Every structure is written in C-alpha cells, then in structure tokens.
C-alpha cells in the first residue's frame, strides 16, 4: 500500500527593505528551510542587488533546494536615495506594488500556503487575506523599540515626554 505524501507548506517571506529587517528575516527563512519547508524570500529589486553585492546570501542558501529568492519592484525610480529620510516614499512605493505582489501569490508554484510579512509593511497582508492565505506579521525590531512604540502615547499623556528643555 502506497503512502500518500502530504504537500509541503510553502512560506513566502517579505521583509521591509532595510538591513536589520532583511537580516532578521533571512535568519527566520533559514530556520524554516531547516524544517524542510518551501521558502520564497521576496525582496525589492534594489535591495536584492545590495544583498548580492555585499553579503554571502546566495551561497548561504544554495544548499536549500526548496528555497528561492524572488524580487519585486519598490515602485521608486532607479536613482531614488531610499534612505530613512525618504521612508514615506519607500512605503508608498511598496504599497503601489500590491498588484504585482498579488499576481506573485496567485502564480507561485508550489502554491503559497502562508505569508510572513514585516510589520512595517503590514498593509500587504491585506492581499494575502483577500486570497485566503494565512499571514503572520513579523516584527524584526528589538524588544526595547517595541516597548517604546507601545508606550510612548502613555508617556506623553503622563507628561513624561517630551523631556523639559529638549526640543524636537
């Protein structure tokens, strides 16, 4: 009697295109690969070129037959600076690529069974939800940052922020 093989889960990971976000999510991708899952790492074309030029990511993941890198446009012109000073531009550009992201989810083989999306670009989770694909919001930021982000409004209301004499 032949055993029926269960299909292997396929996770698509989409980090915000910044060093700390990409590095954290690459570590997560590696752990998922060790578990035998199909993993697609979606990156912006611009950041993927930086990744190839300045890291060993291609070599590091070559041993995983179920892993692949895929790129998507960030919606910005080639000469855009893509820095923290232009964060709004980058978020708007990524948001404009939602139709491309949707098409990628629909056409991917094997079919994507789960997405892990960076919390900074959580708006792309809506696309996964529309397609009925479970989605996880991953926050690669430190615990200190997350605590501050959750509490700053309370600190302002309590009069603790802004600090006296410091002008922002």
Q: Which of 38, 56, 118, 126 is catalytic?
A: 118
Give the span between the Cα atoms of 38 and 52, in whole angstroms. Answer: 21
Q: Which of 10, 21, 46, 48 is catalytic?
A: 21
Give the span between the Cα atoms of 160 and 5, in whole angstroms. Answer: 59
CA dihedral 146, 117, 129, 133 (to 10 degrees): -130
Listed residue (42, 118, 114, 122) closest to 74, CA to CA? 42
**Angle formed at CA 19 by CA 48 and CA 99, multiple of 5 degrees:** 50
| Active site annotation includes 56 | no
In eight-state DSSP terms, residue 153 is: H
Q: By the 8 A CB rule, do 110 and 38 touch?
A: yes
| Active site annotation includes 48 | no
Residues tagged active-site: 21, 118
């Amino acid at each position: 009697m032949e055993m029926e093989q269960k299909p292997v889960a396929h996770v698509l990971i989409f980090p915000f295109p910044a060093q700390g976000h990409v590095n954290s999510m690459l570590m997560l991708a590696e752990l998922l690969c060790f578990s035998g899952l199909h993993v697609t790492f979606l990156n912006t074309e611009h950041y993927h070129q930086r990744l190839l030029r300045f890291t060993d990511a291609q070599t590091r993941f070559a041993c995983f037959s179920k892993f692949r890198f895929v790129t998507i446009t960030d919606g910005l012109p080639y000469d855009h600076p893509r820095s923290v000073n232009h964060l709004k531009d980058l978020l708007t550009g990524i948001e404009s690529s939602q139709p491309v992201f949707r098409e990628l989810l629909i056409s991917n083989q094997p079919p994507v069974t789960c997405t892990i999306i960076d919390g900074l670009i959580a708006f792309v989770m809506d696309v996964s939800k529309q397609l009925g694909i479970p989605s996880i919001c991953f926050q690669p930021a430190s615990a200190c940052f997350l605590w501050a982000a959750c509490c700053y409004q309370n600190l302002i209301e309590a009069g603790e922020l802004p600090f006296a004499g410091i002008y922002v």
